[in-house]
Amino acid sequence: MPRNGAYVTLLTKTEYLPGALVVHKGLVDAGAQYPLVVMVTPPVPEETRRILRERGMVLVDVESLVPRAGTHSVAAHDIRFQDTWTKLRAFGLVQYDRIVMLDSDMIVTRNMDELFDLDLASDQIAAVHACACNPRKLPHYPADWIPENCAYTSVAHPTAITNPPQILPTSPRPYKLLNSGLVVLNPSKELSDSLIHFLDTSPLVPTFSFPDQDLLAAYFEGKWKVLPWCYNALKTLREIHKPLWRDEEIRCLHYILHDKPWMTPRGTAGIYEETHGWWWDRYEELGREMALSDPESWRLVDAQVTKLD
């Protein structure tokens, strides 16, 4: 293990427990050398914490993080983003010198330990671009979120892996936006304090459509290294950016949007049925093992999953 590093995710409620367990399973199955650290907030009950620990994860208690009262609100459609500011607590995990932060609505399909050796300055992060196509034409999304302004429109297989989109002075504004489902960072007290100060004081905060994601893009403008799409393969890219997508290139698949696989029974995911099925395959494999080794815990996990009657 060349670095003192960790994969890190956030858990603020038991409802996301199936997701965290599947992320951990993917890392283990891929032979990751680094542990999965789960940041847990005070409301997470002890029974949930016990399951995480017994499955081999490291727990770190963190306090919830939100903007000052009255400075920011999210659209009703995106209420799930309310807790995501707390992901910024990862910058304060100074017991590690490199972190790969992952959302819990992901599956890991290939080893990604090379991200711990990525050349990254102390004040930089690495992440993939946000997709700015807005295929569902949601009215509360920024007006410049159209395919012509999306960074992914400019790249295709096979060079999309070796030459991800570049941000130039002439690039459309959405080229400066990242997706925070996977972020590589170097924690420090100074950086953590500075980010929280930015959250508390920046006049930009009320304008952010996607909480932590927009904040990171603004704070690290000019200081984030663009990763290829395969490290945070947004599930929508498979449908709307077919020229760049190849299933076999994925390292980590991200189930963006509100319809998480564990909330969407098999057979009901529409155009995303195949990719959602990949999550269900891993979940059911986990279930077969846990139902034998710890049936009581599995009942709690499985109670969080939506199934057809």
List the CATH number of the domain containing 253.
3.90.550.10
Identify the pLDDT of residue 69. 57
- Alpha helix ranges (H) inside the chain: 17-29, 46-54, 159-162, 189-201, 211-219, 237-240, 273-293, 295-302
CB 86 within 8 A of CB 12: yes
Lowest mean pLDDT among 61-70, 100-109, 223-232: 61-70
Residue 254 placed within a domain: yes
Residue 110 placed within a domain: yes
Three-state SS at 215: helix
Q: What is the pLDDT of residues 176-191, one digit of tens each?
A: 999 999 999 999 999 9
The predicted model scores a pTM of 0.94
Q: 82: pLDDT confidence band, cut at 50, 70 and 90?
A: low
The residue segments making up the domain with residue 123 are 5-302
Three-state SS at 5: strand
Residue 116 placed within a domain: yes
Residue 176 placed within a domain: yes
Residue 307 placed within a domain: no
More confident residue, 75 or 149: 149
Angle, helices 273-293 vs 295-302, to 10°: value is 150
Residue 309 placed within a domain: no
State the average pLDDT over residues 113-122.
96
Residue 152 placed within a domain: yes
Q: Taking 60 as the threshold, does the pLDDT of residue 76 lie above it?
A: no
Count of the separate structural domains present in the chain: 1
Residue 171 placed within a domain: yes
For the chain, the average pLDDT equals: 93
